[in-house]
Amino acid sequence: MMDAYYGASTVTLLAGAFGAALVVFALLPHLPPLYVKVWLPAVELLFALRLAAVWVYRHGARQRFGLLAWQHLAWGATAVQGAAWGSFSALVGVLPEPIHQMAVLVTALVMVAGSASLVGALPVVVPVFGILTLAPAIVGLLSWGDGLHAFLAFCCLMFIVTVNFSLPRTVQGLIRSLHSTAQEREQVLAHLQDAERMALVGHFVWDVQGGHVTVSAQACRMLGVPAGKVVSPRDITQALAAEDRERVTELIRDSLTQQQAELRYDARVVSVRGEFHVQAVQRAEYSDDGRAVRVMTTVQDVTRQVAVQHELRDLAYGDPLTGLANRAAFQASLASAVATCQGRLALLVLDLDHFKSVNDTLGHDAGDRLLVEAATRLKAGLRQGDGLARLGGDEFAIVLPVLESSAMAATVAERLIAALGRPFRLGELELYVSCSVGIAMYPGDATDADSLMRCADVAMFDAKSRGRSGYQFHNAEQSARARERVRLDGDLRRAIERNELELHYQPKVRVSDGGVVGAEALLRWRRGGGALVPPDRFIPVAEDTGLIVPIGEWVLRTACETAVAWNAHQPPGAAALKIAVNLSPRQFWSPHFVGMVRAVLHDSGCRPEWIELEMTESLLIDSRGQVAAILAELRQLGFTLAIDDFGTGYSALGYLTRFPITTLKIDRSFVNEVATQPARAGIVRAVVGMGHSLGLELVAEGVEDADQAAALRQMGCHLAQGWLYGRPVPRAEFERLQAAVLGPSVRGGNVAGEAREATALPA
């Protein structure tokens, strides 16, 4: 109510001040001097004070003094004003001329009527003002004592009752209704502004005929338009980024020309807050003749959503580790390059050699750093315009879009191989990593992106099979080998379930007398129940795919079961037969390797001294310090540990003292020339002497004739295996040979001779 009172006061008060001065000057010759000198200045001062109070109220002092103080001020000012006008209306009983009396009376009635509209919201103040103003006039009229003045007095009384008692209630109801509606409108507007601010949504309305735009508070903040200012459509478009203005303007013009009800568009806005993205939805209203009348546009700040979309796109098409494109992005760019290629195009698929051993021995953090550095070197070795991506793991792809000949692709491949051949420095470590590159040419090898990728993959695998650290172009023969490899992989995954794997056993004998002391278990695969697949064909596939881990467990379990069966039937006093089992590096580094070994021993009932675990020297290269701990645990369980193919790997003699090795197996490449090449014989003699000094058991591999056996016997080699003593045979065949020769004597019997005769044909 105070808002209504002080909101309507200015005009009414100014009119009252002017009316007071006007009536005084109109009656100036007939008024007592006191009214001219005192009453008029006092009334005008009172009007001025009330106007000052209105100004203070409207300029923010409402909250400072409180609503009750302003209400008391309104009551007091109205009462004083009523008393002042009452002193003026008393002139009705003083002025002798009827015309002058009527002038005073009409002025008082007008002031009372004006007060009803001014303070109608204050139910008590209006009657008080009316009584204070007209009561002196009623008394003055009655003082004349005639009927006419009495009738006028009665009319004034009715005026007070009607205007000052009944009308205020009506006015108050209307004011309250209007005030309530205004409050509701303000609340709705406030809620809308809050909602717009929270949702980062604003709106503006363009009056097309008037040419001006009404902008919401949030839209003002978003567009950088001053709040409360009347703006033009040009002001709105000027808030857009320069690159978007013409496009948006043309979109809006076309939509209005075509009388589209709705238009959606995206744009960038440049304001003091910087550049951000908005999404706009425009709805237009048209007159009957098709002209646009009113256009309302909502704008939403979608900067965060756009940033998230960019992040998702980067995740979907970028490699977070190296910053290169990923497989999905590369396939799209390769398809585009093939579609637009006018000449030759080369696709290179590059794979780091033995990268998994870096992860296994140094950890994935070192592997990641190696990949980042490799990506940097590859990028530096390419031309501008060449495409580079990381397909996954340690595999990269390069597209060379403009080539004069395939020789240029070979040059690039050689350059990249050389770049990756330089040592990598990872902290205090210095690593050497090679790579294998496969090259496919468009349109010679394939005419679409998918086929080209397959051809390059095949060529890369061919480069690996040829010794790694090189490149190969695709050809049809490669493709056939790759398809066979894929088929091998699929069949090998089902080999265990189908019982297609077999262990063949090659006897291990004493060189001194040829007595059998055990055997080496060798894995064989009878693919589909048919012919045996050579180990050198399927073992690398098992290593690359990780199938060697479950296959290795099957091998160990089967060997343990065989050892239990063999030693259960050994004659009293005979030495136990020991079975040697090869360990794959990938199997060795599996997380639960030692636990698996314990479980196999427990399940099979095998004694660990009946099993010898063989490993290559490369397995002993360990930067994490875990090899020694694992080997110590295996030795503590009771296994003997052998180094297979000794002399062909790192041959660092320090390993023989660091690790609990019990056996050295001399590689067949030295043994097969031990009787004919003095240099080879010297190497074998040195290994045998070193083994004796370290207390290691020595096993010669690949012994094929008696001269080799005699030379090894003369050198003091303990054990031997090879075709001279027997080829690898299935368990049943091995047991049959054992049963045939173990009857009278197990120590000096001619087991090896019988084995040679029985296994003359290849297994």
Per-residue pLDDT of 207-218, as tens digits, reads 887 788 888 777
How distant, in Å, are the alpha carbons of 358, 469, 659, 667, 719 from that of 617? Answer: 16, 21, 11, 12, 20
Question: For residue 525, which phi and psi values (nearest 5 degrees)?
Answer: -130, 115
- In this chain, the answer to whether the domains covering 498-615+729-763 and 638-725 adopt an identical fold is yes
Share of the chain above pLDDT 70, in %: 83
Q: Is the peptide bond before 233 cis (omega within 30 degrees of 0)?
A: no
What pLDDT score was predicted for residue 642? 93
Q: Is the pLDDT of residue 196 over 60?
A: no
Q: Is the pLDDT of residue 272 over 80?
A: no
Q: What is the mean pLDDT of residues 134-156?
A: 84
Q: Is the pLDDT of residue 610 over 90?
A: yes
Residue type, 297: T
Of the pLDDT bands very low, low, confident and very high (cuts 50, 70, 90), residue 555 is very high
How distant, in Å, are the alpha carbons of 82, 580, 734 from that of 558? Answer: 119, 12, 15
3-class DSSP state for residue 726?
coil
CATH superfamily of 638-725: EAL domain (3.20.20.450)
Q: Is the pLDDT of residue 92 over 70?
A: yes
Instruction: Look up residue 651 and give its DSSP letter.
Output: -
Residues 6+ apart with CB under 8 A from 273: 224
- Please state, in angstroms and rounded to a whole number, the distance separating the CA atoms of residues 68 and 63: 11
Question: For residue 217, which phi and psi values (nearest 5 degrees)?
Answer: -60, -45
Please state at what angle helix 9-26 crosses helix 98-118, rounded to 10 degrees: 170
For residue 696, the tally of other CB atoms under 10 A from its CB is 20
Least Cα distance to 240 among 266, 213, 269 occurs for 269
Q: Is the pLDDT of residue 564 over 90?
A: yes
Dig out the tokens for 551 from the structure: 């296959």
pLDDT in tens, 10-50: 777 787 788 788 888 888 788 888 777 888 888 888 878 87
Torsion of the alpha carbons at 726, 728, 732 and 736, rounded to the nearest 10: 0
What pLDDT score was predicted for residue 17? 80
* Residues 40, 42, 46, 48, CA torsion sign: positive
Q: Is the pLDDT of residue 621 over 70?
A: no
Q: What is the mean pLDDT of residues 559-577?
A: 88
Instruction: Look up residue 731 and give its DSSP letter.
Output: H
- Please state, in angstroms and rounded to a whole number, the distance separating the CA atoms of residues 39 and 23: 12
Dig out the tokens for 224 from the structure: 């950088």
* Residues 391, 397, 402, 405, CA torsion sign: negative
Average pLDDT, the chain: 81
Instruction: Look up residue 60 and give its DSSP letter.
Output: I
Residue type, 566: W
Do 544 and 464 touch, CB atoms closer than 8 A? no
- Please state, in angstroms and rounded to a whole number, the distance separating the CA atoms of residues 280 and 602: 72
Residues 6+ apart with CB under 8 A from 683: 647, 670
What pLDDT score was predicted for residue 225? 74
Dig out the tokens for 56 from the structure: 């203070």
Dig out the tokens for 514 from the structure: 């040829």
Q: Is the peptide bond before 443 cis (omega within 30 degrees of 0)?
A: yes
Dig out the tokens for 129 from the structure: 């003002």
- Please state, in angstroms and rounded to a whole number, the distance separating the CA atoms of residues 352 and 424: 13
Burial 148-174 (b: 16+ CB within 10 A, else e): ebeebbeebeebbeebbeebbeebbee
Of the pLDDT bands very low, low, confident and very high (cuts 50, 70, 90), residue 319 is confident
Start-end of H helices in 512-572: 535-545, 548-568
3-class DSSP state for residue 621?
coil
Least Cα distance to 613 among 491, 596, 602 occurs for 596
Of the pLDDT bands very low, low, confident and very high (cuts 50, 70, 90), residue 267 is confident
- Residue 264, strand partner residues: 281
pLDDT in tens, 589-603: 888 899 999 999 999
Q: What is the mean pLDDT of residues 324-337?
A: 88
Q: Is the pLDDT of residue 736 over 60?
A: yes
Do 725 and 514 touch, CB atoms closer than 8 A? yes
How distant, in Å, are the alpha carbons of 205, 231, 276 from that of 272? Answer: 23, 18, 11
Do 400 and 346 touch, CB atoms closer than 8 A? yes
CA atoms within 13 A on the CB side of 174: 10
Q: In which residue are the tokens 């079961």 written? A: 561
Dig out the tokens for 673 from the structure: 């020339």
What pLDDT score was predicted for residue 761? 29
How distant, in Å, are the alpha carbons of 52, 98, 111, 190, 528 from that of 93? Answer: 34, 10, 19, 56, 135
What pLDDT score was predicted for residue 760? 32
- Please state, in angstroms and rounded to a whole number, the distance separating the CA atoms of residues 220 and 218: 5
Parse the chain into domains and list their residue ranges.
2-188, 200-308, 320-474, 498-615+729-763, 638-725
CATH hierarchy code of domain 200-308: 3.30.450.20
Q: What is the mean pLDDT of residues 732-739?
A: 85
Q: What is the mean pLDDT of residues 399-412?
A: 82
How distant, in Å, are the alpha carbons of 19, 43, 220 from that of 22? Answer: 5, 13, 48
Q: Is the pLDDT of residue 130 over 90?
A: no
- Please state, in angstroms and rounded to a whole number, the distance separating the CA atoms of residues 70 and 125: 14
- Residue 291, strand partner residues: none
Q: What is the mean pLDDT of residues 310-323?
A: 72
Start-end of H helices in 605-728: 627-637, 654-658, 668-671, 678-694, 706-715
CATH hierarchy code of domain 320-474: 3.30.70.270
What pLDDT score was predicted for residue 341? 85
What pLDDT score was predicted for residue 623? 47
* Residues 114, 120, 126, 127, CA torsion sign: positive
Least Cα distance to 222 among 171, 170, 263, 268 occurs for 268
How distant, in Å, are the alpha carbons of 6, 50, 172 from that of 73? Answer: 11, 9, 19
User: Taking the CA atoms of the chain, what radius of gyration do you get in angstroms?
Assistant: 53
What pLDDT score was predicted for residue 374? 92
Least Cα distance to 721 among 574, 507, 484 occurs for 507
- Return the ∠ at Cα 57 (arms to 51 and 62), rounded to 5°: 160
Start-end of H helices in 302-386: 303-317, 327-340, 355-362, 364-380
Least Cα distance to 367 among 377, 357, 379 occurs for 357
- Return the ∠ at Cα 440 (arms to 439 and 441), rounded to 5°: 125
Q: What is the mean pLDDT of residues 285-300?
A: 86
How is domain 498-615+729-763 classified at the CATH fold level?
A: TIM Barrel (3.20.20)
- Please state, in angstroms and rounded to a whole number, the distance separating the CA atoms of residues 476 and 455: 9
